Amino acid sequence: MIALIEQAIPVLIEGFWITALIGLSSIVLASVLGLGSALMRVSDNRLLSGCAFAYSTLFRGTPLLIQLFVLYYGVGAIGAVREQPALWWLFSDGVRCAILAIGLNSGAYMGEAIRGGLQSVPRGQIDAARACGMGRALAFRRIIFPLAVRQAFPAYSNELVLAIKGTSLASTIAVMELTGYARRLMSQSFLIVETFIIAGILYLAINMFLLGCAHLVERRLRIERPH
């Protein structure tokens, strides 16, 4: 029994690193997509905001598993994609496909969080910045963005945990990550609860680490107000 657990731990830790790789890569991708789509959502250009709305609604309205299967089995089966080396490089590999799918999915949710932050910036602040002679870009960089980030950060950090949880679906497209190895151990041995506990602790560790980092960032972002 103890010997079996000792064998299971290194296997799960091997999966843990793949989970961390997919999770962190997709979080980076999702943050870029989220910021981009939030900026498009609040823009005055109807076409841009419409596209961002469609992206956000479609990716939040369907299960991640469907999105993953559409990208991996659907797009990967299109002839034109197979002939394009760059596209085939992306869609032929489970890990890259999982990063893309989770990044796209999580980006839609992060976009909503960031949009909330952008819209919470008081109109007067923007007017004041413009009245001081700041250009649009400068006002965005110095006034709007710093205020929006503070407002959006708690909702954004919730999405980090959801993105990590989403990485477990990579096991369904034959990527052996933490949940993939856990499933194999559960189906092949009698260590079902033990496997769950070890894998659960590993997931908890990533999530606690990310939330800890988020907490530090949030503290740094806090504005010290004079009493």
**Number of residues in contact with another protein, rule: CB under 8 A?**
38
Q: Is 182 in the site for another protein (CB under 8 A)?
A: yes
Q: Which distant-in-sequence residues (6+ apart) come within 8 Å of 168 by Cβ?
A: 19, 177, 178, 179
**Residue of 4, 58, 138, 213 that binds another protein (CB under 8 A):** 58
Give the nearest distance from C-beta 179 to another protein in angstroms.
5
CA distance 216 to 31: 18
Give CA separation, 175 vs 25, 52, 140, 210, in Å: 15, 30, 41, 23
Nearer to another protein, 82 or 130 (CB): 82
Residues 60/112, Cβ–Cβ less than 8 Å: yes
Give the nearest distance from C-beta 64 to another protein in angstroms.
7
Contact stretch for another protein (CB under 8 A) within 24-32, 45-53, 132-140, 180-188: 180-188
Q: Show the binding pattern over residues 60-99: x = contacts another protein (CB under 8 A), - = does not.
A: -xxxxxxx-xx--xxx-xx---------------------
Q: 66: part of which helix (H) or strand (E)?
A: helix 64-69
Give the nearest distance from C-beta 124 to another protein in angstroms.
23
CA distance 225 to 25: 36
Taking the alpha carbons of 123, 128, 130, 134 in that order, is the dihedral positive or negative?
Answer: negative
Nearer to another protein, 43 or 57 (CB): 57
Nearer to another protein, 111 or 166 (CB): 166
Q: Is 200 in the site for another protein (CB under 8 A)?
A: yes
CA distance 33 to 27: 10
Q: Is 192 in the site for another protein (CB under 8 A)?
A: yes
DSSP code of residue 141: I
Nearer to another protein, 65 or 132 (CB): 65
Q: Is 213 in the site for another protein (CB under 8 A)?
A: no
Residues 202/13, Cβ–Cβ less than 8 Å: yes
Q: Is 9 in the site for another protein (CB under 8 A)?
A: no
Q: 149 to 168, contacts with another protein by CB under 8 A?
A: 161, 164-168
Taking the alpha carbons of 173, 176, 182, 187 in that order, is the dihedral positive or negative?
Answer: positive
Q: 90 to 149, contacts with another protein by CB under 8 A?
A: none
Q: Which distant-in-sequence residues (6+ apart) come within 8 Å of 120 by Cβ?
A: 147, 148, 151
| Interface ranges with another protein (CB under 8 A) | 58, 61-67, 69-70, 73-75, 77-78, 161, 164-169, 171-172, 179, 182-183, 186-187, 192-193, 196, 199-200, 203-204, 207-208
